[in-house]
Amino acid sequence: MKFFWDSAFGLLVVTGALLGLSLPLGRMATDVGVPGMVWAFVISLGAGGLLWAVTMARGVRFRLTAHKLRYFSIVALVSYAIPNLLMFSAISHLGAGYTGIMYTLSPIITLILSILLGVRRPSPLGVIGIVVGFVGAAMVAMTRGEAGQPAALFWVAMGLLVPVFLAIGNIYRTWDWPGDTGPTELAIGSHLAAAAMLLVAILALPGGGSLQLLGQVPWVAAVQAISAAVMFPVYFRLQAVGGPVYLSQIGYVAAAVGLFSGTLFLGEHYRGLTWAGALVVVVGVFITTKAQARKETPAVATR
């Protein structure tokens, strides 16, 4: 277990697989009318609530500070509430597999933001990877979802915003990580904050009683809550062990799970251009990862 907890690769595979599982589960829920905001609430409440109950039962207590409160609030909004709302609102229009491809753009956007924020200077290889990745993203975007069922450009744009917010969260979590705070505490605090934000929004909007629609998919909701509770401590541990760019590569695994589960179990079909674009994105991310592995001089010191 200790070897796994210190293995960036092992953490990456487990986190990506559990993240990818949320795609077919979310598609199953939204197809019966569960709003994306409600499903995002299920994920955050499941992750934060179940982990909090386990830690309380073990007698573990956490001390809340102003720094942690700020961290929980920003991470909740940028990393969970907004991207999950976007993703599960768009998934019925785009398909689980197509939406999963959006995850693969996160490493490239994370690197771009790192460059723009002065965290690191771009190398020629890194620039090539970024260009290749965006060519692949353009190819995928052109297909607009499942074959024969092109989605409105609005939903494609919503899907493309998901990796942007994920990338912002990747950088922020590393930059402002509270000292002497473990991954489980960060997962609990940020997800309970996200659940609170989403619940207020659900109840404030017309049709706040849409929470009752979860009764149509009780087992799907239960599996989603449990998988989220298992995933996010591993997710934060991967952040600490691998860093923001390595973490962002969970999109590879998540996209693979989303594509194949959508195709095999949900009857989704995608054009050859979609698969080709996904492959080009993977090549672009591989190039940017190689560029990251090389010694690139940081432009400014970060904490």
> Per residue of the chain (303 residues), what is the pLDDT tens digit?
566 777 878 888 889 899 889 999 999 999 999 999 999 999 999 999 998 998 999 888 888 899 999 999 999 999 999 999 999 999 989 988 888 888 878 877 887 887 787 766 667 887 888 788 888 888 888 888 887 788 888 999 999 999 999 989 988 987 888 887 888 888 899 999 999 999 999 998 876 668 888 999 999 999 999 998 888 888 888 878 877 767 777 877 888 888 888 888 888 888 888 889 888 888 887 787 677 666 444 433 333
Separation CA 225–CA 211 (nearest Å):
15
Q: Where are the domains of the chain?
A: 2-293
Measured CA distances, 162 to 83, 84, 125, 132, 167 (Å) = 5, 8, 25, 19, 9
Q: Rounded to whole angstroms, what are the CA distances from 147 to 87, 150, 204, 272?
A: 19, 7, 37, 9
How many helices (H) and strands (E) are present in the chain, helices listed first? 13, 0
Burial of 260: CB neighbours in 10 Å, binned 0-12, 13-18, 19+: middle
Determine the Cα–Cα distance for residues 99 and 92; give it in Å rounded to an integer. 9
Task: Say how far apart CA 249 and CA 285 lie, in whole Å.
Answer: 8
Compute CA 32 distance to the chain's CA centroid, rounded to the nearest angstrom. 23
Q: How far apart are CA 87 and CA 178, in angstroms?
A: 28
pTM: 0.82
